[in-house]
Amino acid sequence: MEEILQMEEIFMDKANRTIHSELKLVVSVGSFFSLPDGGPKTYVQGKTVPTQHVAMHNFHLLELVNFIFEHFMWGSKQYMTLWRSLDGDSIEIKSDEEMLDWFQLNLEKRVVCIDAKIIDFDSPLQFSPTKCRCHLSVRNRAATNERATMR
């Protein structure tokens, strides 16, 4: 009987933790010009993507990027930045840890607001954190430069 009570207590503790760590995620994406590969440049009006409920300890940055990509498309010569939605200052979210910190700061409100911006690459080195590789036009140049510096 004691074991059953202990198991029940553990189950209730986990259930309460799950309930208390679930947050309503509100993501607003700013307007931008979409540059799809091989397609025409088009203006995309910014909007708030459908709200979703997330478990703060089980939701990662890449999942957020994929969720936004379901509603907006951008090209390989563009990238997305994520920001804490604040009135004054802006703080960029660059990692799972930074996103978890933002979730924890909003735990009492139960609502987390994040702003997303789609930006064109300005520099010749173009790296997409979601694809984890350099673009083909840069890869050959990078290999040549590496050989030159190894001598």
pLDDT digits (tens, 9 = 90+) for 134-145: 443 443 444 444
Q: Give 82's strand partners.
A: 93, 116
Instruction: Give, as one character, the DSSP assignment of residue 39.
Output: S
Strands (E), 30-123: 32-34, 42-44, 47-48, 52-55, 78-84, 92-93, 111-120
Which residues belong to CATH 3.10.20.90 in the chain?
A: 2-120
The CATH classification number of 2-120 equals 3.10.20.90
Percentage with pLDDT > 70 across the chain: 69
Q: What is the pLDDT of residue 73?
A: 85
Secondary structure tally for the chain: helices H, strands E: 4, 10
Answer whether residue 127 shows pLDDT above 60.
no
Please give the model's pTM, rounded to 2 decimal places: 0.68
